[in-house]
Amino acid sequence: MSTSTPRPVFIIGAPRSGTSVMTWALGQHPDIQPMPETAWIAAEAVASLQSFKLGSARGEFSHLSNVSFPFDAFLEHKGRAIDAVVHDAFARRLKDKYGEDGRPSVDQLADPEFLHIRLHPDHAKSRWVDGAPINTFYTWALAQMFPQAQFLFHLRAPQGVIASLEKFDVAGGVATEREAALGLWLEHVRAAWNTERALGSDRVFRVEFDRLQSEPDALMGEICTFLDEPSCLECAAFLNRRLNSSGTHQNDIRDTLDQLANFSEAEALYHTITKTLSTTAQERKEAERYIRDRFESLCADRPLLGGQA
């Protein structure tokens, strides 16, 4: 189990924007473990707010409010507990995948299709990367739970996401109708962009989807620099080898997308994001309020046992 301050990496943005492949690519780094999509960490964020409210409900007669225990400190404690579970689960995964010594076999190393979680037993893997799309809506709490967490905002043009989701069954997923796919894009991108504006460039790096395809080596180098990690040839090599996109018919459907009610709104938002170079103090405050309000709205009407919504 790691004893250092947790420094997870959360990948946020719309589905089908390269989030899964980036999770595995970063997972080839000597210090970063790739995780299956979690969902439970976002659930812990919800439970943290509700349990804090329970512990603070009766002023001096409740355990936490009796000492004015701060919510941000409460969330940090939860973050450290989550980090301990993550590292415990990783140790179990290593044994399941490689055996007691955590060492890949010669055959595994030679197989380009084998998805590694650690290439060498000496790799520390003190950090972890979580690409669960649901985390996009819980970034306010995640940023509080993990004050040193960093986020990668994957941004893909709306027509690309719509096309890919529409043909997702080709890649083993479930096909999504265009209207629903557009709604998913708008919800995720609004939340991710407000996270970028709220937390700033020290904590959020924007990953343009086109760069994943056109210049993966340079992009991965910039991401490693952003994460304050040494560059990793294996990370870039994984991107080069594994990146693919279902629904490459996006050019074929482009002329029909204007019929969708909110497509012009999505295009305008995408254009605004790609053209925005800086954020004012007022915009940052508004973005902070947006991601906190979004988190709290997702926690509403979900009381724990014995509590009020």
Average pLDDT over residues 209-235: 94
What tens digit of pLDDT does each residue of 51-99 get? Answer: 999 899 999 999 999 999 999 999 999 999 999 999 999 999 999 999 8
Confidence of residue 121 (pLDDT cuts 50, 70, 90): confident
Work out the average pLDDT over 26-36: 96
pLDDT band at 3 (very low <50, low <70, confident <90, very high): low
Distance CA 42, CA 37 (A): 11
Q: Are strands 150-155 and 127-130 parallel, antiparallel or unpaired?
A: unpaired
Amino acid letter for position 241: R
Q: What is the pLDDT of residue 302?
A: 72
Position 243 scores a pLDDT of 62
- The number of C-alpha atoms within 13 Å of 89 and in the hemisphere containing its C-beta is 12
- Cβ atoms of 195 and 12 within 8 Å: the answer is yes
Considering the entire predicted model, what is its pTM? 0.92
Closest CA to 159 of 126, 189, 196: 189
Residue 172 has a pLDDT of 62
pLDDT tens, 166-221? 887 666 667 789 999 999 999 999 999 999 999 999 999 999 999 998 999 999 99
The pLDDT score that the predictor gives to residue 100 is 86
The enclosing H or E element of 207 equals strand 204-208
pLDDT tens column, 242-299: 665 444 556 657 667 878 889 999 999 999 999 998 999 999 999 999 999 999 999 9
